[in-house]
Amino acid sequence: MKKLLIAFFCTSLLMSATVSAEVYKWKDKSGKTQYSDTPPLSNIPYTTLSGKKSAQPEQPAPAAGTDPKKVEEAAKGGKQPAAAANPNDPKNKVSEDLKEKAAKEAEAKKQQEEKQQAEMKAKDQACKAARSKLAQFEQGGRIYRVNERGEREYYGDKEIAAEIENAKSDVAANCE
């Protein structure tokens, strides 16, 4: 156990040394850029590189209401996005109207799906309750209900048969 612990600490020390290592960048006599972990000769100017830099420069987020594809095309081509170029253009108004209409339709569809899911959930709960009631009455034994005064009233044979028929009709109505 001690050997493992010592090996772990030695490894972590070595790793921290390599992580904190500096990288030096300079141009040699022929104009080539050189990179090294050791600094060049004292008469050659160099820069120290530390940390990781991302390969792509950061770009600001597109403005709200603009299409990201158009913004990218504008950045590449040096043009402004069509929406920003002329906001009074009738084509832009038509496309905005279409977008609003599509958004309203999507919202209506979403509400309809939520309503259907709520109905299915309620029907499923009613089915489970009806099956549970049917199973309780078919199981047999002494079954009771509580009256208005809080007393137990036991079902008779005729009442149990009637409740079984009611439960069967509930199962047929609520379960498919």
Q: Mind listing the pLDDT tens digit for each residue in 1-43?
A: 788 778 777 777 766 655 566 788 888 888 888 888 888 877 8
Could you say which residues of the chain have pLDDT below 70? 14-21, 51-91
Q: Rounded to whole angstroms, what are the CA distances from 55 to 36, 48, 52, 58, 163? A: 20, 18, 9, 9, 75
Q: Is the dihedral of CA 65, 70, 72, 75 positive or negative?
A: negative
Q: How many domains does the chain have?
A: 1
168 found inside a domain: yes
Q: Residue 4: what pLDDT?
A: 77
131 found inside a domain: yes
Domain coverage including residue 135:
82-174
40 found inside a domain: no
Q: Residue 150: what pLDDT?
A: 92
10 found inside a domain: no
Q: Residue 69: what pLDDT?
A: 61
Q: Residue 37: what pLDDT?
A: 82
124 found inside a domain: yes
Q: Residue 44: what pLDDT?
A: 83
129 found inside a domain: yes
Taking the whole predicted model, whether its pTM rises above 0.85 is answered as no
Residue 160 CA to residue 166 CA, distance in Å, equals 10
Q: Residue 39: what pLDDT?
A: 82
Q: Residue 38: what pLDDT?
A: 83
42 found inside a domain: no
164 found inside a domain: yes
